[in-house]
Amino acid sequence: MSDLSAVKAALKNQAVETPSWAYGNSGTRFKVFAQAGVPRTPFEKLDDAATVHEFTGVTPAVSLHIPWDRVEDYAALAGYAGERGLRLGAVNSNTFQDDDYALGSICHPEASVRRKAVAHLLECVDILDATGSRNLKLWFADGTNYPGQDDIRERQDRLAEALQTVYARLGDDQRMLLEYKFFEPAFYATDVPDWGTAYAHCLKLGPKAQVVVDTGHHAPGTNIEFIVATLLREEKLGAFDFNSRFYADDDLMAGAADPFQLFRIMYEVVRGGGLTADVAFMLDQCHNIEAKIPAIIRSVMNVQEATAKALLVDRDALTAAQRSGDVLGANAVLMDAYNTDVRPLLAEVRTELGLDPDPVSAYHRSGRAAKTAAERVGGQQAGWGA
Mask 156-195, x = binds a second copy (CB under 8 A)? xx------------------------xxxx-xxxx--xxx
Tell me how far, at minimum, the Cβ of 38 lies from a second copy, in Å. 14
Q: Tell me, what DSSP letter sits at residue 325?
A: T
Of 169 and 356, which has the nearer Cβ to a second copy?
A: 356
Residues in region 91-110 near a second copy by CB under 8 A:
96-97, 99, 101-103, 109-110
Q: Report if residue 116 touches a second copy, rule: CB under 8 A.
A: no
Report which secondary-structure segment, H or E, holds 137.
strand 135-138
Residues in region 243-272 near a second copy by CB under 8 A:
245-248, 250, 252-253, 256-261, 264, 268, 271-272
Q: Which of 3, 5, 153, 367 forms a contact with a second copy (CB under 8 A)?
A: 153
Of 64 and 229, which has the nearer Cβ to a second copy?
A: 229
Task: Assign 62 to helix, strand or coil.
Answer: strand
Residues in region 34-63 near a second copy by CB under 8 A:
34
Q: Which of 152, 347, 353, 355 forms a contact with a second copy (CB under 8 A)?
A: 152
- Among 108, 198, 101, 201, which residue's Cα sits nearest to residue 150? 108
Query: For residues 91 and 128, is the Cβ–Cβ distance under 8 A?
Result: yes
DSSP strands (E only) in 148-219: 175-179, 189-190, 209-214
Q: Report if residue 318 touches a second copy, rule: CB under 8 A.
A: yes
Q: Which of 52, 66, 141, 266 forms a contact with a second copy (CB under 8 A)?
A: 141
Q: Report if residue 353 touches a second copy, rule: CB under 8 A.
A: no
Give how many residues touch a second copy by CB under 8 A: 105
- Is-cis flag, bond preceding 259, omega within 30? no
Cα–Cα dist 61/88, whole Å: 5
DSSP strands (E only) in 20-122: 61-65, 87-92
Q: Report if residue 4 touches a second copy, rule: CB under 8 A.
A: no
Tell me how far, at minimum, the Cβ of 169 lies from a second copy, in Å. 25
Q: Which of 330, 349, 369, 382 forms a contact with a second copy (CB under 8 A)?
A: 330
> Which segment (73-81, 170-178, 217-225, 348-356) binds a second copy by CB under 8 A?
217-225
Q: Which of 72, 323, 354, 378 forms a contact with a second copy (CB under 8 A)?
A: 323
Q: Report if residue 218 touches a second copy, rule: CB under 8 A.
A: yes
296: Cβ–Cβ under 8 A, 6 or more apart, which residues? Answer: 18, 22, 23, 52, 59, 283, 285, 287
Of 9 and 103, which has the nearer Cβ to a second copy?
A: 103
Q: Are strands 209-214 and 237-242 parallel, antiparallel or unpaired?
A: parallel
Q: Dihedrals φ, ψ of 178, to 5°? A: -100, 125
Of 31 and 377, which has the nearer Cβ to a second copy?
A: 31
Note every long-range contact of 113-119, with CB atoms under 8 Å and residues 24 or more positions apart, other chains counting.
Answer: 114/158, 114/162, 117/162, 118/162, 118/165, 118/166
Q: Are strands 143-144 and 189-190 parallel, antiparallel or unpaired?
A: antiparallel
